[in-house]
Amino acid sequence: MIEVTDLSKAYGQVQALKGVSFHVNAGEVVGLLGPNGAGKTTLMKVLTGYLHSDTGRVLIDGLDIASETLAVQRRIGCLLENAPLYPEMSVQGYLRMIADLRQIPKNDRPLLLSRAIRATSLEDQLTRPIGQLSKGFRQRVGLAQAILHNPPVLILDEPTVGLDPTQILEVRRLILRLAEHTTVLLSTHILSEVEAICDR
């Protein structure tokens, strides 16, 4: 489902990625483990088409991210470390906006919105402004937007960063539920996170 071959990326003189190769099979939950500054976020941004690599190749579901970026992005649900949430918007308004941006057909929206909201247990938060939510609930909103279009691949960058222990357990359980129906690649610098969630 994800195939990365000899990927490299530099920012000027700083080599963020060099010769990275790996694959993730359909249905796997794979952890990308490394210390802060190791290049995990750069790799995630390349995989999702937000950055172009200097060398190498990325295939997602058989499609090349460099030449078929939009087609690949339609197959990916993504939660980067700093989710693009708008604090003044309600949860419901934000998710409807994401449905518009994702160009989800109007007939499919009620079902997909309902599924994403139920999966992330946001039913009681729909009318609240995102800025008034706890960090844990904001992470859930970020996950809801990532799964809204029912993607076959879910890419999560540090999904539990900044959460308290209870919120970490809730987000881990949520990721495991989502992983029943999708391929997941998540990055973290916490070994216990990988042990708790990942197949490898």
State how far the alpha carbon of 180 is from the alpha carbons of 141, 146, 175, in Å. 19, 15, 9
Matching residue, tokens 């990942």:
198
* Predicted confidence band of residue 193 (pLDDT cuts 50, 70, 90): confident
pLDDT at 62 over 90: yes
* Each residue's pLDDT tens digit, 76-112: 999 987 777 999 999 999 999 999 999 999 999 999 9
Smallest Cα–Cα separation from 93: which of 121, 124, 128, 122?
128
Average pLDDT over every residue of 55-60: 96
CB contact set of 16 (below 8 Å; sequence gap of 6+): 9, 10, 39, 42
Average pLDDT in the chain: 92
What are the residue ranges of helices labelled H in the chain? 40-47, 69-73, 91-101, 109-119, 135-147, 165-178, 191-197
Please tell me the predicted confidence (pLDDT) of residue 36.
Answer: 84
Give the whole-number percent of the chain exceeding pLDDT 90: 70
Percent over 70 (pLDDT), the chain: 100
> Given a cut of 90, is residue 169 above it in pLDDT?
no
14/9 Cα distance (integer angstroms) = 9
The owner of tokens 């949430």 is 85
What residues contact 62, with CB distance under 8 A and at least 6 apart? none
For residue 6, the 8-state DSSP code is E
Q: What is the rounded average pLDDT of the residues 181-200? A: 90
Lowest average pLDDT, out of 16-25, 46-55, 104-113, 153-162, goes to 153-162
pLDDT at 113: 96
CB distance 41 to 81 below 8 Å: yes
- pLDDT of amino acid 173: 87
- What is the model's pLDDT at position 100? 96
Q: What is the pLDDT of residue 102?
A: 93
Query: Tell me, what's the pLDDT at 83?
Result: 72
- Give the separation between CA 62 and CA 82, rounded to whole angstroms: 28
Taking residues 65-74, what's their average pLDDT? 94
pLDDT-based confidence at residue 168 (cuts at 50, 70, 90): confident
Separation CA 35–CA 103 (nearest Å): 37
> What digits encode the pLDDT tens for the residues 3-41?
999 999 999 999 999 999 999 999 899 999 988 889 999
Q: Which amino acid is at 108?
A: D
pLDDT at 180: 85
